[in-house]
Structure 1
Amino acid sequence: MRKSNNFERYESEYIQRKDWVFPYDDIEPGAKIILYGAGDVGQAYYFQIIKSGYCEVVSWIDKDYKKYSEWGLNIESINVFLEKEYDLILLAVANHSVACDINSFLLEQGVKQEKIVWGIGSTSKILYDKETFFMTNPIKEEIKNVLHYKKISSKCLQGMKYVVDILERANKTGIVLPRVVIEATTHCTLKCKYCNNLMPYYQKKRHLDLDSIEKDIEQLFSVVQHILVLEIIGGEPFCYPQLCDLLLFLERIEQYDILEITTNGTIIPNNNVLEALRDKRIIVRISEYNASAKIEGLIKKFKEYGINYEILNDLIWIDSGEPVYKGKSKELCRESYLKCSSARFCKTLMEGRLFCCARAASLFDLGICKDESNYIDIYKDDAIRELRDFYLSDYVEACNYCTNSDEWRIVEAGVQS
């Protein structure tokens, strides 16, 4: 499309504001798109496309095309899309109900649902300022996980509504977290050589106090509005003797969407735990690296009780090295942190502290590294501010107890020492 005479003025205004970021994750480079909407969102998208050359706008349409044309923008009638060849129609509107109306209109015109993308429904809006906190990339990944578990397409109206609900929660109260890992026990039935949680280093195994875990969870939810995914880990979670009570406690909390429990498949839980696992928000993830015959029995029980589960095969483990001080510079630690999926996704709750990852929690618990950069105290008066700073940080001292990112090597999952 040609640039209008007023392009430079509008480009300067909207690129500088950066209120709306083009949904790059949902659109392939070079795609031919029809941009539906010429308001603030549409103009922001359009100027980013022109600036980056990321894709081709074959038509920019809006019901009020005459008004926007008078402004010097090259907008066409909404009916022209019927004559165009395109890959996707991008809905460039902020309001959910308006997006639904447009979506319905396009479907009535014979457009297939998979050809309609709503950028805002893809978490494109920047939601971090002094009042609002939203970790964009991890949130996107966990939203995909939640929708996968719920068997909802991210581009259908139900999927859009879910994303909008998350955005509204973030806007109202300020903090929505992608995932929090809950450490329940250091007991495990295996001794994995490359265990990133360092369970083989525990000489004295222990179960964490249930009352303390519940108190920590309540405190965390007094600081944050919502968490997309909670995960219970160990050790082996099914070793935890009070797991049933913990599950029943979590069942009463509405401020999360999915509860994951990752097991090595060596223990078949008792009937009380199996009953508690029937909660539809729970998904049990069975690591298939263990050759135990109990996995078949476990799956049989899960089917009998109607428990949601998935098999984790083709697991990729990274050897992070021995948990000893490496003497790395801050720059090397920062590089490792930014490349580490555990640092981005696995903030771990343990005994009143939220750690950058499960390994850092174990480093603290084992007395190897107690540096305060690795965690925040969720009971402090300024926990909200510290939480924001913690998630935006690009350095923790715990990275000095892992190998450099350029030395990471893929190892076979579940190898026993």
Structure 2
Amino acid sequence: MRNYSIRKTIKNNAGHELDKYADFMLRKQNHFYVIGSENEFNSFYNRTGRFLKEDEYCLLGFLNKDVQKQSRGGDSVFLDVPIVEEAIIYADKQAVIICTARERKEYENLKNIFEEKGFIENQTFFQGEIFSMIYDVYVRDIIRIDRVEVFLTSCCTLNCEKCISYIPYFKNTHHTSLEQLKSDADILFKNVDYIYKLKLLGGEGFLYPHLIEYIDYVYDNYGGKIGTIRIGTNGTIFPKTEIMEMCKRNHVTIDISDYRIAVPDKCKLEEVKNYCLENGVAVDIKRTGEQWLDMGFPDNIPEFEGEEQIKVHFQKCAMFCRQFAKGKLYFCCSNFAAVAAGLFPDNDNDYFDFNRQFSKKELLEFELGYSTLGHTTFCGVCGGCSEEANSCRVEVAKQVK
């Protein structure tokens, strides 16, 4: 997930950094109103809203950010929650807004509107995803993480110059051992109650030689703690029949990157997609757009004017995916890849070590970006992984010869 709303993330009091936010959130006198689209509200309600009601918090209304749908009236309900008008919220002196907008621009726009009416971010106006995570840990004593990536192999059928995993820079072919992956799964799910998306990547995911045995192990032991297992592929090779059978029985989704324009001589997207679907395996086509973000590192490192600028850069980037390897959860998947490729030094500021005793509150703090520096060390050499942080663009999947 991306943290848009908590901007000061230097760790000063581990295990208690979020206490002040939880104090504002969890007051029984709060009147909660959720703003977002119907899909966003539905997601929030299933994850958190229904528990708010069970725990006897006052979830009084849903404000649909889609003006046309909102106009259908205050007597309507959505998932047993009344649809309300803005005027009702403004008149309620105990109102607390939970904003479920997932895009930063939408969130910021709605925040600004409500701030003009006297609402205060992280006191009476909360980012929905952060609200849910704090509620999970502080009330339900569980921790659920949005997305974790697992690095399988540096083998790939392409050699993309600006690969976010720095595959062209690996000096030797590297497969993560099956024993290491199983060990990582054990320690990860011992400490995390649920992961919505577990994504398996390379390189090229289908080239990992122990793919079937690994996913069978993860699904058999931890399937109930995973929303979806996904394999990343560049759409240049057909997976074996045995892999298709494994994907079907373990409800795996295949994420295919669309490189038809970039490498038309190698990309078999339609054929691979149809092959998967014919075998009863779900497919998700990942549109790459006309350009990639240029992360800069390692050959065009951005220049920053000191720590404060790097902290701002970290907040603008708001990296959404974590990487788990060797018992450590890295905040930034690109940071991990640079370390794995031997391009950047490992630093304990940049990961959360599962090989020690820790609380769910400490892990939650890390998930929201808290660290000794308040940013990763890699931020100082990286252009960033969001449009807000990075304006540099490059050709998609340009091949290194």
| Offset at residue 416 of structure 1 (A) | 1.4
CA contact (8 A) 2:136 2:142 kept: no
The 1:135/1:232 distance shift into structure 2, 3 A limit, reads: farther
| Offset at residue 293 of structure 1 (A) | 5.0
Question: 1:127-166 counterparts in 2 under 5 A?
Answer: 136-137=128-129
- Tell me which residue corresponds to 2:280: 306
- Tell me which residue corresponds to 1:403: 383
CA contact (8 A) 1:280 1:308 kept: no
- Tell me which residue corresponds to 1:346: 321
Q: Is 1:297 the counterpart of 2:271 in the alignment?
A: yes
Structure 2 unmatched ranges of 5 or more: 1-23, 39-52, 83-96, 103-121
- Tell me which residue corresponds to 2:110: none
The 1:382/1:258 distance shift into structure 2, 3 A limit, reads: same
- Tell me which residue corresponds to 1:364: 339
Tell me whether 169-178 or 346-355 shows the greater mean CA deviation. Answer: 169-178
Q: Is 1:265 the counterpart of 2:257 in the alignment?
A: no
| Offset at residue 271 of structure 1 (A) | 1.5
CA distance in structure 1 between the partners assigned to 2:26 and 2:193 by the alignment: 30
| Offset at residue 42 of structure 1 (A) | 5.4
The 1:296/1:135 distance shift into structure 2, 3 A limit, reads: same
Structure 1 residue runs of 4 or more that deviate by more than 6 Å after TM superposition: 119-124, 166-170
CA contact (8 A) 2:100 2:127 kept: no
For residue 284 of structure 2, what is the amino acid of its counterpart? E
Q: Aligned with 1:229: secondary structure?
A: strand
CA distance in structure 1 between the partners assigned to 2:317 and 2:399 by the alignment: 24
CA contact (8 A) 2:152 2:208 kept: yes
Q: CA RMSD in A?
A: 4.1
CA contact (8 A) 1:333 1:397 kept: no
CA contact (8 A) 1:139 1:178 kept: no
| Offset at residue 314 of structure 1 (A) | 4.5
CA contact (8 A) 1:182 1:232 kept: yes
CA distance in structure 1 between the partners assigned to 2:149 and 2:274 by the alignment: 27
Q: Aligned with 1:227: secondary structure?
A: strand
TM-score (normalised: structure 1) = 0.62
| Offset at residue 301 of structure 1 (A) | 2.0
| Offset at residue 87 of structure 1 (A) | 4.4
CA contact (8 A) 1:363 1:370 kept: no
Q: Deviations for 1:293-315, whole angstroms, at most 9, x for unmatched residues?
A: 53343223212211100222353
Q: Is 1:195 the counterpart of 2:169 in the alignment?
A: no
Aligned length: 305
Structure 1 unmatched ranges of 5 or more: 1-13, 28-36, 57-83, 93-98, 104-118, 141-162
CA contact (8 A) 2:171 2:341 kept: no
- Tell me which residue corresponds to 2:254: 284
| Offset at residue 334 of structure 1 (A) | 1.9
Q: Is 1:26 the counterpart of 2:6 in the alignment?
A: no
Q: Aligned with 1:208: secondary structure?
A: coil
Q: Deviations for 1:50-108, whole angstroms, at most 9, x for unmatched residues?
A: xxxx999xxxxxxxxxxxxxxxxxxxxxxxxxxx974465759xxxxxx55x79xxxxx
CA distance in structure 1 between the partners assigned to 2:25 and 2:142 by the alignment: 25
CA distance in structure 1 between the partners assigned to 2:311 and 2:194 by the alignment: 28
CA distance in structure 1 between the partners assigned to 2:131 and 2:199 by the alignment: 15
Q: Which has the higher helix share?
A: 1
Larger Rg: 1
CA contact (8 A) 1:176 1:227 kept: yes
The 1:171/1:182 distance shift into structure 2, 3 A limit, reads: farther
